[in-house]
Chain A
Amino acid sequence: MSETGDRGRTDGDGPVLADDPSTDDTTDRATDGAAAGARPVLEEAGREDENALSSRPDAAAARRVAGNGVLATGRRWWRQLTSMRTALLLLFLLAVAAAPGSLLPQRNLNADKVDTYFTQHPTLAPAMDKAGLFDVYSSPWFAAIYLLLFVSLIGCLTPRIRVHLRALRRTPPDAPRALRRLRVHTEYASGSGAADAAEVARKALRGRRFRTVTRRHDDGTVTVSAEKGFLRETGNLLFHFSLVALLVGVAVGAGYGWHGGRLLMAGKDNAFCNNLQQYDEYSLGSRVSGGDLPPFCVTLDRFHAKFQDNGQPLAYSADVTYSPDGGSGGKRYKLEVNHPLRVDGASVYLVGNGYSPVFRYTDRYGQTQTVVSPFIPSDSNFTSDGVAIFPDANIDPKTGKRNVDLQMAFQGVFFPTVSKQGGHGSTFPGLRDPAVLLFAYRGNTGTDAGVPHSVYSLDQSQIQNKQLRQIGKNPKLLRPSTKCTAQSCWKLDDGTTVQFVGVQRWATIQVRHDPGERIVLVAGVALLLGLMGSLTIRRRRIWFRFTPDGSGSTVSAGGLARTEYAGFRAEFDRIVDAAGGPARPPDSGTPRGKD
């Protein structure tokens, strides 16, 4: 009878007690004979109940039906896949598979770290890359695990919908013959006749939102059957299918979402408009093309940063002007961390900030050029690294010809607050005593070659092949000034000068559109509601049997909690009380412990 025999002990001494069905089946996935234990009692409680408890036919019976052949093999595999054990195994696999992504560098989080890993482990890294270890969460094996898990989930839960719908329509089964064999039961005498007493009991149960049925039997006895707690299974199904909906939401986001990042320099001339050419990096969902981006524009007017005396940041905010739909005319917005700008269905986030030193280079022909170079912070005090490149330096104004060997490049370290000893690191993130340490290079900067490389560092290969040579041995520390002073200007060996003019601010923004977000949110809320329902609601049945006895009746009542429910006896007692029974049942199975 029982599928696994796990709890199906039906031997002599007190089987009802030993196999008490009040032990629960938490998430109620009726597999592996979860319900087997409940049968001895429930058999009496109504035959049709077996189906309500087990979503699928008996395993042995199924084997008989399935027979042999391809179909049978398929069925067996399906059964295996949709079993609770497989679900458990897949859950574990998912947990294990998620772990390496947090221990190994991941491309989606930090591509630079992946590159570093490649240089550190030149032989191992390519093999690991093939195995998807640097893109764990988008790797096929990770997807295989969760997709299998979801197939298993759907396969296991779908039949239960049918079963549950049937259970919802069915009236509670008639009282079992031996109510006293239920662990929670009581007997008492009632002064009123069977029918009247039954009506009182029914009302008491109805008042507590039980579904009730009154049955009159030929021998004059009247039974009241009541059942409550169907929402538990509803919640359980809701929870599991919300997980599917959540996955759908994620998939929609992956297909129709896009995002991009851009470093924005402060100032009117640095407006950014939402198209792919203007992004530093971007990623489009598989079903989106560049033309689908809404055409709004954003300008960074001012950036504010507040720091505590110990250097901890207190607040960052960016005053931006934006024009929806690419139209003219600007609206203002104060963009802050935790306070994104929502425009044209996209969201704009403030994700980073830093300083851009401004350099002016005066070349051999007296021509000056100014460059604002964003420097990238490398520590929490905003010690920042960057370069200023002048590819058009030293062009003879007469010929107008570019001389690649006389291009200029400066590599620098910027300190918003230089340490008193000079060099080596900023001591405060705010601009208390800004300075920049510059290394000067002359020669072919490599920028004309069209080989892309980081705009925040010099082309090392040009330095290695001696096309770009450092001028002098030592770097120079400059302080900003709009006038060329000994502090702010550096006169190079060829008589040209570089001046540290001042400092501007930059901010990085992230623009994102994720149409799946709403689905995910709704699914999440449903998931939580379902979860709470399935963990807190208990399905239970209560029966009363009224046997005419003179002018009154003798009453036998019993209850059965299908799921773990410590307070069931108390509830039962209250109901019996309301039905006119004893306030304190004289004998209700095992006496209660103290407290």
Chain B
Amino acid sequence: MYSSISDGLMVAAVLGYMLAMIGYAVEYAFGRQGVVARIAARKPRASRVLVTAGGDEVVETAADDTGDDDEPHRPIDAGRAAFIGRIALVVQTLAAAAHTACLVFRALAAHRVPWGNMYEYVLTACLIATVAWLVVAWRRPAVRHLGLFVSLVVAILLCVDAAKLYATAGPLVPALNSYWLVIHVSAMTVASGIFLVGFVTVALYLIQERREAWLAADRPLRFPLTLGDRLPASETLERLGFRIHALGFPIWTFGIMCGAIWAEHAWGRYWGWDPKETWSFIAWVVYAAYLHARATPSIRGRWSSWIAMLGWAVMLVNLFGVNLVVSGLHSYAGVG
């Protein structure tokens, strides 16, 4: 009963995310261009300096900004696009509420925290990513249209989750029956959700950075660089990406440490190079490399961001590759 309510809410949440995605796409395509991006388009070098100078984050208006829309004719005007974007944000928020309820019912059905198998794990990580994003989007309307990317990634992950990883709600196997499940897995999930948002930010940075370079060189832009028209300046994205990762990394570290303590209780050793442990360690090392790279001026920026992208790739290997292909002590995925 609870379990089927949960399944229904899951579908509702996915549909909501898709709807929000469409709304964001409209805003993205027809909305008012981000002020910074417009300046970047006009005078890439100058804007760079100004934004560096700003140091404050997403929107740094410049003194010469007149604020009027000098774009050519569009089928939907900017005001209406913004309105649609606001609706998309509301829809996404509602979907997140359904998503939350879905997990609550899952928990009620199974009488435990809703992250005992891989289906639930992905479900929770996606909710955290969405909530993290919603916090940003409500506070900074200027970046709202970027919700397109977040809802896109989340919708895809959830569809894969429902199609490939679904497991019926039930109690836990003995090894998972511990309060460490709550601590360890929630830390891992929260960190994964944060890294997901970090990945999206860094990916956008890489697009924007390339676009700015091409603009400066007067090279014609093609997709995906044209996406950058509506993105904040690359410096801003880069800094945001760093802050997100700097938030996720200690949580990931904490999660691994809790995992080690739990492993000591359950398996009799705190570390044993089980595949999941190994890949968590690799992800940790790669993100540590990112933090180091970013502290090295000569490779900060493009290179360090590629390392963050690599970190996310490792996270995906850990989530899908290790759970579905390699077998180890962590084989609780409940699939196959």
Contact = CB atoms under 8 A, between A and B. Distances in A.
A396 B202 CA distance: 82
B281 interface: yes
A194 to B, nearest CB: 30
A590 interface: yes
A60 interface: no
Residues of A in contact with B, size category: 35 or more
B250 A532 contact: yes
Q: Secondary structure at chain B's binding surface: helix, strand, loop or mixed?
A: helix
A481 to B, nearest CB: 31
A589 B174 contact: no
A259 B249 contact: no
Given A95-B286, A98-B285, A531-B253, A566 B57 contact: yes
Interface string B232-276: 000000010011001001100110010011101111111111110
A109 B267 CA distance: 12
Interface stretch (B93-101, B190-198, B295-303): B295-303
Nearest to B254: A528
Given A32-B298, A591-B61, A521 B326 contact: no
Nearest to B61: A593
A552 interface: no
Nearest to B49: A18
Given A36-B297, A95-B286, A23 B174 contact: no
Contacts of B250: 528, 531-532, 535
A34 B56 contact: no
A92 B289 contact: yes
Contacts of B142: 593-595
Contacts of B49: 13-14, 17-18
B101 to A, nearest CB: 26
A18 B326 contact: no
A213 to B, nearest CB: 26
A187 interface: no
Contact of B272 (A98, A109, A525, A593): A109
B275 A102 contact: yes
A355 B63 CA distance: 80
Contacts of B286: 91-92, 95
Interface string A2-14: 0010110000011
A136 B282 CA distance: 14
B50 A517 contact: no
Contacts of B175: 337-338
Contacts of B260: 520, 524
Interface residues of B, number: 72
B174 A336 contact: yes
A514 interface: yes
A412 interface: no
A349 B57 CA distance: 52
A524 B56 contact: no
Contact of B279 (A36, A102, A109, A564): A102
Interface stretch (A169-177, A310-318, A323-331): A310-318
B322 interface: yes
A497 B19 CA distance: 73
B42 interface: no
Contact of A338 (B178, B293, B295): B178
A457 interface: no
B171 A312 contact: yes
A95 B282 contact: yes
A13 B48 CA distance: 13
B139 A595 contact: yes
Contact of B50 (A336, A532, A590): A590
B163 interface: no
B140 interface: yes
B173 interface: yes
B293 A88 contact: yes
Contacts of B275: 102
B292 A29 contact: yes
Interface in A544-594: 564, 566, 568-569, 589-594
A32 B294 CA distance: 12
A137 interface: yes
B53 A183 contact: yes
A308 B239 contact: no
Contacts of A337: 174-175, 177, 266
B324 interface: no
Interface in A99-114: 99, 101-103, 106, 108-109
B54 interface: yes
B298 A315 contact: no
Contacts of A512: 268-269
B59 interface: yes
8 contacts: A91-B286, A94-B285, A95-B285, A99-B278, A102-B278, A312-B170, A514-B270, A524-B257
Given A17-B52, A26-B292, A512-B269, 20 more contacts: A4-B297, A17-B53, A18-B52, A24-B295, A27-B291, A27-B295, A29-B295, A34-B295, A37-B297, A91-B292, A98-B273, A98-B278, A101-B278, A103-B326, A314-B174, A338-B180, A510-B268, A520-B260, A521-B261, A528-B250
- List 10 A-B pairs, minimum CB-CB distance, nearest first: A593-B59, A349-B268, A6-B297, A102-B275, A17-B53, A26-B295, A91-B289, A102-B278, A338-B178, A95-B285
